[in-house]
């Protein structure tokens, strides 16, 4: 790579990390202290960006490791952020809504006191155990604290509800990113030929581990573009169907029954991840870390693994997969749709206007004039307004702009990583890390170091 060893050591370390305790008065009246964290990996780009996790096994070491991954992920896709991560060491299922709100607001207050949150400093987002509800509380608390002195206060965090400055398309963004990068991969004719895989998504058998937000949306987009969902793995068990599972119907079934088991037309495996090891073309681990490890990697019968979760494949497991000629699309690239969409939300908050709003009607009128010139004069008929959606003339709304931007950024990032992998004869994962490191190093080399 041409990066000096001393610089590589600098890139390994977190610039700043904090650990602090938060008091909470439980609904029972008991007073409890919980531990909280926030780590900012690198300040070469500001603000830093990373999720807020509520998990009982969270610690400072894990927080710093996840913050470093965010730095590399942002660098790979060209998002101008440093990496960060934070959260509270609790099991959110054991706390009431009132208690969670109190904790989230106190956590935000402490971050604000320590200058660890702000649209130009550090922009948290949702992560495991948190969602738009927690981000709404965080945004409201920061806005109250900052007052009139911070006009861009809504940009203090992302993943918010639409009413508080959130952006349409955020819900499906990570799953959509998995779909886009996987589509680019299977359309790579040269790479598919190397692995003796038929190019294109059409007819590809897909298995998803984790039918949450990421897995469900990835499955939807895959199926809509010709793939066949043949298996789903969840905590309570797994299901399979060689003829295909409708992801939308399964999502509705799970919402109603609180389980994927006994889904009509599918074979169920209670308390078993048996479907995880069935033959398929594309396996999407979209649940937790280390789901593919030394103990089960040899049982994987997929041709391609598209990592929808963070760190689902261990180092030892990847060696086994590579020896078995399994192609791995790394998480650093594959699941970066979420942070990319968060970037769009942050830009919306700074600009105080929805993407596409200024140009939507202009685009419609321009396209209508074009159609009138071409079609109207040829057939002598005027188009009805109701026909606009059918012929794709209607101007783009916020979600259209977001998904289009995701396609452009993630598609281009895949091509960059693939080119690097080909030139240096390395894996896609290694190429993603090399790409990120070289971009980070370029910033430091150009900016220099301050010393008093």
Residues belonging to the active site = 85
Helix (H) or strand (E) holding 67: helix 60-77
C-alpha–C-alpha distance, residues 225 and 255, integer Å: 24
C-alpha–C-alpha distance, residues 66 and 83, integer Å: 8
C-alpha–C-alpha distance, residues 178 and 307, integer Å: 8
CB 413 within 8 A of CB 44: no
CB 297 within 8 A of CB 198: no
C-alpha–C-alpha distance, residues 41 and 11, integer Å: 8
The number of beta carbons lying within 10 Å of the beta carbon of residue 271 is 10
C-alpha–C-alpha distance, residues 380 and 372, integer Å: 9
C-alpha–C-alpha distance, residues 371 and 394, integer Å: 12
**CA-only gyration radius of the chain, Å:** 23
CB 342 within 8 A of CB 49: yes
C-alpha–C-alpha distance, residues 171 and 402, integer Å: 11
Length of the chain counted residue by residue: 452
C-alpha–C-alpha distance, residues 38 and 138, integer Å: 14
What does residue 292 show for φ and ψ, rounded to 5 degrees?
Answer: -115, 115
List the alpha helices (DSSP H) in 258-394: 315-323, 331-334, 337-351, 360-371, 377-379, 388-391
């Amino acid at each position: 790579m041409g990066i000096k060893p001393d610089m590589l050591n600098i890139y390994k370390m977190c610039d700043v990390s904090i650990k602090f305790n938060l008091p909470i008065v439980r609904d029972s009246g008991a007073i409890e202290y919980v531990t909280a964290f926030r780590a900012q990996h690198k300040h070469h780009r500001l603000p830093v960006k990373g999720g807020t996790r509520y998990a009982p096994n969270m610690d400072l070491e894990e927080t710093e490791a996840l913050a470093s991954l965010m730095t590399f992920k942002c660098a790979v896709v060209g998002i101008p952020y440093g990496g960060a991560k934070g959260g509270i060491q609790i099991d959110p299922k054991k706390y009431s809504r009132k208690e969670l709100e109190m904790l989230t607001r106190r956590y935000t207050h402490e971050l604000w006191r320590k200058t660890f949150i702000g649209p130009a400093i550090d922009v948290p987002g949702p992560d495991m155990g948190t969602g738009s509800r927690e981000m709404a509380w965080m945004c409201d608390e920061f806005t109250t604290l900052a007052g009139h002195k911070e006009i861009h206060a809504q940009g203090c965090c992302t993943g918010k509800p639409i009413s508080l400055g959130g952006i349409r398309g955020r819900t499906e963004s990570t799953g959509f990113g998995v779909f886009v990068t996987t589509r680019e991969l299977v359309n790579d004719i040269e790479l598919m030929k190397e692995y003796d895989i038929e190019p294109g998504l059409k007819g590809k058998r897909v298995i998803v581990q984790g039918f949450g937000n990421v897995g469900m949306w990835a499955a939807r987009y895959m199926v809509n573009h010709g793939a066949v969902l043949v298996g789903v793995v969840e905590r309570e068990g797994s299901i399979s169907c060689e003829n295909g599972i409708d992801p939308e119907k399964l999502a509705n079934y799970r919402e109603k029954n609180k389980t994927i088991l006994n889904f009509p037309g599918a074979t169920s495996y209670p308390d078993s991840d048996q479907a995880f090891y069935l033959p398929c073309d594309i396996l999407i681990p979209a649940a937790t870390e280390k789901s593919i490890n030394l103990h089960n990697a040899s049982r994987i019968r997929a041709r391609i693994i598209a990592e929808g979760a963070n760190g689902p494949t261990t180092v030892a497991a990847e060696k086994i997969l590579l020896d078995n000629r399994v192609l791995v699309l790394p998480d650093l690239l594959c699941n970066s749709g979420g942070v990319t969409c968060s970037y769009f939300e942050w830009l919306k908050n700074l600009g105080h206007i929805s993407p596409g709003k200024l140009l939507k009607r202009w685009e419609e009128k321009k396209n209508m004039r074009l159609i009138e010139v071409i079609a109207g004069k040829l057939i002598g008929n005027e188009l009805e307004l109701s026909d606009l959606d059918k012929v794709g003339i209607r101007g783009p709304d916020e979600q259209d702009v977001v998904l289009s931007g995701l396609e452009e950024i993630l598609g281009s990032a895949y091509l960059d990583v693939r080119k690097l992998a080909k030139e240096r004869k390395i894996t896609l994962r290694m190429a993603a890390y090399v790409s990120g490191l070289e971009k980070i190093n370029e910033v430091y080399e150009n900016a220099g170091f301050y010393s008093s």
